[in-house]
Structure 1
Amino acid sequence: MHPMVKPALRRGWRDLNTVQFGMTPAHAMTLGPMDTATGSFLELLNGTRALPLLREEGRRMDLQEDHVDALLDRLARAGLLDDTRGGGPAADTLREKTDVLERLRPDLASLSLSTPEPGGALGRLAARRSLRVQVRGAGRVGAVLASVLSGAGIGEVDVRDVGRVEPWDVAPGGLPAESLRERRDTAARAAVRRAAPDRPPRHTRSTRCGTEDPGLSLVILTPRDDVAVHTPDPFAAEPLMASGTPHLYAGVVEGTGVVGPLVLPGETSCAGCLHQDRTDRDPAWPRLVAQWRSGKARRVGACDLALATTVAGLAAAHALAFLDGASPSSAGARWETSLPRLNWRSRPVRPHPACGCGAAERGKGEHSSTDGEPRETMAVQRPTTVRRSKAGAARPTGTWRAHV
């Protein structure tokens, strides 16, 4: 192990004896009171020294070996310590691809903030290279979203759509102007390849007609049709539900951006739950949906470029959080924002007992948003100074607190 205090967290001294790691309430923590020797020892935690050398350096600074070990252990348990050699075999392989790793340095730093175990961030970044995601819809939202996922290190991003690129499909980061009149899916896949840090090996899998690919980690539905964005068709998602494939909805409809719900089949609410809930609240809903779906499709919808890019970015962030093992707030909810005020709102989508997805029976999928709420203050004993017990053993004292 080569310990390193996570460089993504800025460090500052609140007073002569208290150091703060991180600036934002989500991640900031303070350590104190701290003696001068321990404060100086923190400067050695830069990932260039293994544990034996750190113990030796500590002895030169009059720090007991057990004090050094306890400090490192508690830094690690507080989520403030990284390991420049950790992460497992996949991480070792990624380290050898220096040009790829340099492209992904900001993503690695971000992952380190939400990955508590030392070396875990690089392990998760390396794991992205083995994931397969499919994006269905290559308009202003879908093509940009697919490129973002590819650029963030997802190993294989497939894009499905029909037709040819129209002038209004073109968007920065998505389909370029040079792709006009090309097949949409072909042009989007080319954009995905351009965004990728490298090209990990593709995994060829065959599927029977009418079935879903079991190797997909996530399917993201980004329809260009505004009706499909506003009211996702439960029938279209039946193969995904039957195969247990997680899927996420995103798009823009009439100047409103939508992200969610993220559907974990059998666990969280789905498009059928959304339809049943709306029918309960508005008896005219099925009649309206039937008219919208049978009406003439608009050739060009209201899809503001900046709003579409925002939706693509937020949907990509939710997708990456899920793929990295977290549970984003879009599981069981739809995030919506409308022009011109652009206030994001979370609308719960609860499991409906009349829906056959089974989520209501399991009692899962309830959504609660804590965005913007203060975190509870955490107090955990951490080593800061050393005092002698009667038996002569070194005893660490001091307190860590989350700074909010």
Structure 2
Amino acid sequence: MHPMVKPALRRGWRDLRTVQFGMAPAHAMVLGPMDTATGDFLALLDGTRGLPLLRDEGRRRGLAEGRVDALVERLSRSGLLDDATGGGPAADALRARPAELDRLRPDAAALSLVAPGPGEAMRRLAARRSLRVQVRGAGRVGAVLASVLAGAGVGRVDVQDGGCVEPWDVAPGGLPAESVGERRQEAARRAVRSAALGRPPRRGAGGSGSVPGQDDPGLSLVILAPRDGLAVHAPDPVASQPLIDSGTPHLFAGVVEGTGVVGPLVLPGDTACAGCLDLGRADRDPTWPRLLAQWRSGGPRRVPACDLALAVTVAGLAAGHATTFFDGGLPSSTGARWEISSPGLDWHAHPVWQHPACPCGAGEKVEGEQTSDTEGPHETMVGQQPHAARLSGTWRAHV
């Protein structure tokens, strides 16, 4: 082990005996009281020394026997310590590719703030390389989202879509202007390859990136980012049924008119799906099926409303929720839809409850609980996860 204080946290002395690590309240921590010798010793925790050398340095500074080990243990338990050589074989393989690692250093620093143990951030970052993600939709949201995931270290990002690139598909970070007229799917895949860090490992090499319970052990997530706003506002349960049947996690993201949508992230059998969303709406509004039938039967608009800044915002948030899931967490879109509307641009979360009549089976686990959300314009559920207490933990260990 080569201990180092997490470099993402800036250090400042509150007084002569108290040091604060980090600026933002979400991750800042105060350590004290601390004597002068210990304070000087902290500067040596930079990842260049192993424990034997650190013990020697501690003795030279007059620290009591065992003080170095106790300090390292205390910092480690506090979440302030990382290991410059930790993370296992996959992390070592990433360190052996310095050009790729240099591009990911900001991501590694950010992961270290939420990964508790020394070396855990590098382990999670390296595990992304063995994942496979499929993005369905290569418009302003989908193409940008796919490129962001590839640039964040996801090993295989496949994009599916039909037709040819239109001028209004072009977006910074997504489809370039020179791709207009090309096949949309091929142009998006080329953009992903341009954003990717390098060639992914061969199938089955470098650890497992699958989710327990999936039929395809190589597919970690499907992101549905349709260019048609209706398909994200009211996703068709029939279209996502194969994902439910195969146990494949999937996330919805897109723009409808002037509203961006991220979620729900569906964990089949555990959280609400598109069918639950549809049935819940019909419970609350008897005219919903009639409206939906009219919207789906009408001809598609040639140029859908999709503000560029809003589309990029949605793509970025969806990518963040996806990487949180890849890294072993449950983002707030699990069992909820995050929406942001012009012109106020305030994010609101609407819970999507498991419906007992939905064949996905999630509603059977919450019998007797509320099964429909209150999706009115002023009803929000910020930072809550209605499903969290009911998950078995299967979905948490997929890296």
TM-score (norm 2): 0.89
- Pick one of 335, 338, 342 that aligns with 1:339: 342
**C-alpha spacing 1:294/1:218, structure 2 compared with 1 (3 Å):** same
Contact kept, 8 Å, 1:156 with 1:202, in 2: the verdict is no
Read off the aligned partner of 1:119 and give its amino acid letter. G
What's the offset of the Cα at 1:78? 1.1
Q: How far apart, CA to CA, are the structure 2 residues paired with 1:312 and 1:235? A: 24
- Corresponding residue of 2:161: 161
Q: Deviations over 1:252-287 (max 9, x none)?
A: 001100000000000111111111111111010011
Read off the aligned partner of 2:360 and give its amino acid letter. C
Deviates more, 1:178-187 or 1:360-369: 360-369
- Corresponding residue of 1:324: 327
- Corresponding residue of 1:82: 82
Q: How far apart, CA to CA, are the structure 2 residues paired with 1:337 and 1:29? A: 32
What's the offset of the Cα at 1:300? 0.8
What's the offset of the Cα at 1:203? 3.6
- Pick one of 298, 314, 326 that aligns with 1:295: 298
Asked if 1:32 is matched to 2:32, the reply is yes
Q: How far apart, CA to CA, are the structure 1 residues paired with 2:120 and 2:305? A: 42
- Pick one of 305, 308, 329 that aligns with 2:308: 305
Contact kept, 8 Å, 1:214 with 1:245, in 2: the verdict is no
- Corresponding residue of 1:92: 92
Q: How far apart, CA to CA, are the structure 2 residues paired with 1:322 and 1:116? A: 16
Q: Which has the larger radius of gyration?
A: 1
- Pick one of 364, 379, 383 that aligns with 1:370: 383
- Pick one of 230, 233, 236 that aligns with 1:230: 233
Q: How far apart, CA to CA, are the structure 2 residues paired with 1:214 and 1:57? A: 48
1:1-400 maps to which residues of 2 (within 5 A)? 1-201=1-201, 203=203, 213-363=216-366, 369-370=382-383
What's the offset of the Cα at 1:66? 1.6
Q: Deviations over 1:87-129 (max 9, x none)?
A: 0001111101001100111011011111011011111111110
Find the residue that maps to 2:244 and give its secondary structure.
helix
Q: How far apart, CA to CA, are the structure 2 residues paired with 1:74 and 1:360? A: 44
Read off the aligned partner of 1:20 and give its amino acid letter. Q
What's the offset of the Cα at 1:176? 0.4
Q: How far apart, CA to CA, are the structure 1 residues paired with 2:366 and 2:172? A: 42
Find the residue that maps to 2:322 and give its secondary structure.
helix
Q: How far apart, CA to CA, are the structure 2 residues paired with 1:323 and 1:30? A: 30
Find the residue that maps to 1:165 and give its secondary structure.
coil
Read off the aligned partner of 2:103 and give its amino acid letter. R
More strand by share: 1
Find the residue that maps to 1:342 and give its secondary structure.
coil
Q: Deviations over 1:342-373 (max 9, x none)?
A: 010000101111111111222399996438xx
Find the residue that maps to 2:261 and give its secondary structure.
strand
- Corresponding residue of 2:377: none
What's the offset of the Cα at 1:15? 1.1
What's the offset of the Cα at 1:68? 1.2
Q: Deviations over 1:188-247 (max 9, x none)?
A: 00000000111213549xxxxxx9744210000000111101101111011000000000
% identity of equivalent residues: 72
Structure 1: segments with no counterpart, 5+ residues: 205-210, 372-404
Deviates more, 1:362-371 or 1:267-276: 362-371
Contact kept, 8 Å, 1:249 with 1:262, in 2: the verdict is yes
Structure 2: segments with no counterpart, 5+ residues: 205-213, 374-380, 385-399
Read off the aligned partner of 2:279 and give its amino acid letter. Q
Find the residue that maps to 1:309 and give its secondary structure.
helix
**C-alpha spacing 1:296/1:202, structure 2 compared with 1 (3 Å):** farther
Q: How far apart, CA to CA, are the structure 2 residues paired with 1:363 and 1:35? A: 54
Question: Aligned Cα RMSD in Å?
Answer: 1.7
Contact kept, 8 Å, 2:138 with 2:185, in 1: the verdict is yes
Read off the aligned partner of 2:66 and give its amino acid letter. D
Q: How far apart, CA to CA, are the structure 1 residues paired with 2:276 and 2:32? A: 50
Contact kept, 8 Å, 2:11 with 2:22, in 1: the verdict is yes
**C-alpha spacing 1:87/1:352, structure 2 compared with 1 (3 Å):** same
Q: Per chain length, whose mean CA-contact separation is higher, i.e. which structure has more relative contact order (CA < 8 Å, sep 6+)?
A: 1
Read off the aligned partner of 1:218 and give its amino acid letter. L
